[in-house]
A and B are shown apart, each in its own frame.
Chain A
Amino acid sequence: MGSILSDIFERMGDFETKPLHKNHSKAVDVVEFPCVHRDDSEPLSIIWPDLKQGPWIAGGACLRWYQCQPVGENDIDIFCSSAEQAQSIIDEIKGYGRYTTKYESDNATTLSYYSKDSNKTWTLQVIKRRYFTSLKDVIDNFDISVCQLGTAGNDWLLGKNTARDIRERNLRMNMPLQPDAVKRLAKYWTYGYRPVDGLLDAVKANPVGKKMFQSNEDYENAF
């Protein structure tokens, strides 16, 4: 027992003590954004999206906000313009010292962030597999029309069919189908969106749609 403890203490000595981040243990100065549900303002105040330069929020979280709902159990997917921007956001979130790392891969870093002032938790997924030139570039990458919406907090950007498909609860996928299309089809069908005429036939006719990714799950889940 004694030798184990001395071993541990010896190893601890090898660790360099990093200075704490300037925001460590602090509460966040929360700013409300017109396109973000009030309950989710805190993580957005850390991410601080920017329409021109990124980062941008798009996909499922925006779909909830657009319908005046908080994100709830959904991830907030954060899309960046560069690896440096992605790392800076990760450091900023971690800097408050209230997080756990849910997943870490080359494709994405997924963190659970806890509020200081309430018992709320958010899942923040910083996408690292690909970087984008604009918010339009981000939403053009989604293959489901109701996911083709994004924001930097103050403006909405929507795809061609997005608003109508949200209102009518249509499940429409852009062609050609991307790998793992069946997985996303099942997901959004379960959320109550109904396949538009011809979609199931298109999936059936397209071998790419049923190809499954095994290793890129976190990135793929973002779309």
Chain B
Amino acid sequence: MRSEQSWSLLDPKPVMLYLSNLDEYIVYWNGIATTHLMALNLAMEYYGIFPTPEMKSAMEQNYSKIYYANGFDTRAWDLKVSSSPIYPYVKRLLAEHCKKVIDESGRDITEVLGWFDYSKARKDTQ
């Protein structure tokens, strides 16, 4: 288990990790690993900004690319990743937690956007 995953169980906000070998960002949020883009879109839904079909495709492709390059440090989810869209699944796992944290933040959209600022990402040690 990566330390970011443990940290994300303590910090209610998403914990970002930069994967230097992939030049990609992933997020651990309440112990759940996902891509930066999925977490961002999930948060934006609470402000009425919903992903379009093209955005959903872009998210799925990005997730798949990171997953198959071992960005999540596991290949245990092959069946899930290959068989169905991941975004609705991530949404189901995180929706309740995400709503609670956003409500507690005072619902300022720019503050929530700031959670996903790349400058806040930790860097992997690879």
Q: Mark A residues whose CB is within 8 Å of B.
A: 72-74, 182-183, 185-187, 189-192, 194-195, 200, 203-204, 209-210, 212, 221
Q: Report the Cα distance A63→B16, complex, angstroms.
A: 29
Kindly identify, within residues 36 to 56 of chain B, every residue whose CB is under 8 Å from any CB belonging to chain A. Answer: 37, 40-41, 44, 47-49, 51-55
Pick the residue among B53, B55, B114 that contacts A191 (CB under 8 A): B55
Q: Is the CB of A203 within 8 A of B48?
A: no
Q: Which residues does chain B contribute within 8 Å of A74, judged by CB atoms? A: 54
Neighbouring B residues of A221 by C-beta, 8 Å: 52
B contacts with A: majority SS: helix
Residues of A near B37 (CB, < 8 A) are 189-190
A200 adjacent to B40 (CB under 8 Å): no
Give the residue of A73, A183, A195, A204 whose beta carbon is less than 8 angstroms from that of B53.
Answer: A73
Q: How far is the CA of A212 from the CA of B110 in the complex (A)?
A: 13
Complex Cα distance, B44 from A186, in Å, reads: 8
Q: Is the interface of A mostly helix, strand, loop or mixed?
A: helix
Complex CA gap A203/B52 in Å reads 22
Residues 51-67 of B contacting A (Cβ, < 8 Å): 51-55, 57-59, 62
Whether A203 pairs with B118 at a CB distance below 8 angstroms is no
With A192-B62, A210-B109 already in contact, 15 other A-B pairs whose C-beta atoms are closer than 8 Å: A182-B44, A182-B109, A182-B110, A186-B49, A189-B40, A190-B37, A191-B54, A191-B55, A191-B58, A192-B58, A200-B114, A203-B113, A204-B114, A212-B48, A221-B52
A212 to B50, CA, bound (A): 13
B104 contacts A by Cβ under 8 Å: no
22 residue pairs A–B, Cβ–Cβ below 8 Å:
A73-B53, A73-B54, A73-B57, A182-B109, A182-B113, A186-B44, A187-B52, A187-B55, A189-B37, A189-B40, A190-B37, A190-B59, A191-B58, A195-B118, A200-B110, A204-B110, A204-B111, A204-B113, A204-B114, A210-B110, A212-B47, A221-B52
Cα distance A190–B43 when bound, in Å?
A: 13
B113 touches A185 (CB 8 A): yes
Bound complex: CA A187 to CA B37 (Å): 10
* Chain B residues near A185 (CB-CB < 8 A): 113
